Amino acid sequence: MPKRREQPRREPRELGELPYVDHLEPFKGRLAQGGDYDTVLFDGGEFEDADASGARFIESAFASVTFAGGRYRRARFSDVWLNGVRWVGGDLTESVWADAEIIMSAPAGTALPGAEMNHVLFHRCKLDSVNLRAADLREVSFVECTLRDVDFAGAALTGVTFPGSTLERVRFDKARMSRVDLRGAVSLGISDGYDALRGATISGVQLMELAPMFAHILGVTVDDG
């Protein structure tokens, strides 16, 4: 059987490299429910407790923006670019993310249950206490990220990779995996859901690290006495 290759690391683009950069217009006004934001540049600033539920962000860029709380349920982010964005709290339940690049950003305490992510790149991000329960992730890469207390319980992960990333107390309880590649992860700190790793690829070194938990799940007693 041929050796499976790890997926190459995607490099994020600079703002000036975006194909729609010449069409971006600075954002003015306030975010609104069901709003349409097409080729908009969000540069700096803070949105506190905004309600943009059902809004659509298309070919838009976010640079050094802070979101504090707020409601973005079922919002759609298509072909978006986020760099240096802080997202503290906030409700993004069942939001949809497609062809998104999220760079050097820090979602913390953010709720994304039931979210859909398709072709999304997280690059050097810090995800802290992010709720991705029952989310659907397809072709998502976490590159050189820190995932701390991230909850993937009940999520579906397809073609997800973690090159250079550190996982700390990450939950995979009842997750479903297909073509998930964990070999590039620097650390696999999994708090529960070891039995959900079926469908994932790990390295021999990682297997040795996880062996005690696998033995526990299988009811195997290891006794060197």
Secondary structure (DSSP) of 42-81: EES-EEES-B-TT-EEES-EEES-EEES-B-TT-EEES-E
Across the chain, how many H-helices and E-strands are there? 1, 22
At 68, list the tokens: 């504090």
Alpha carbon distances (Å) from 98 to 7, 140, 169, 219: 19, 10, 27, 41
If one compares 93 and 209, the residue with the highest pLDDT of the two is 93
* Residue 39: pLDDT over 60: yes
Q: Which tokens hold the place of 30?
A: 């306030």
DSSP letter, residue 21: G
* Per-residue pLDDT band at 211 (split at 50, 70, 90): low
Joined together, the tokens standing for residue 183 give 């070999």
Confidence check: pLDDT of 5 > 80: no
Residue-level pLDDT at 1: 34
Instruction: Give DSSP secondary structure letters for 157-204.
Output: EES-B-TT-EEEEEE-TT-EEESEE-TT-SEEEEEE-GGGGTTEE--H
Determine the pLDDT at residue 6. Answer: 46
Question: Tens digit of pLDDT for each residue in 102-155?
Answer: 999 999 999 999 999 999 999 999 999 999 999 999 999 999 999 999 999 999
Q: Which of 93, 104, 110, 13 lies closest to 59 in space, CA to CA?
A: 13
Segment 176-186, tens digit of pLDDT: 999 999 999 99
pTM metric for this prediction: 0.90
Euclidean distance between CA atoms 80 and 89, whole angstroms: 20
Predicted pLDDT of residue 216: 56
Q: What is the dihedral of CA 98, 103, 108, 109, to 10 degrees?
A: 0
Q: What is the spatial distance between Cα 91 and Cα 54, in angstroms, rounded to a whole number? A: 12
Residue 11 has pLDDT above 90, yes or no: no
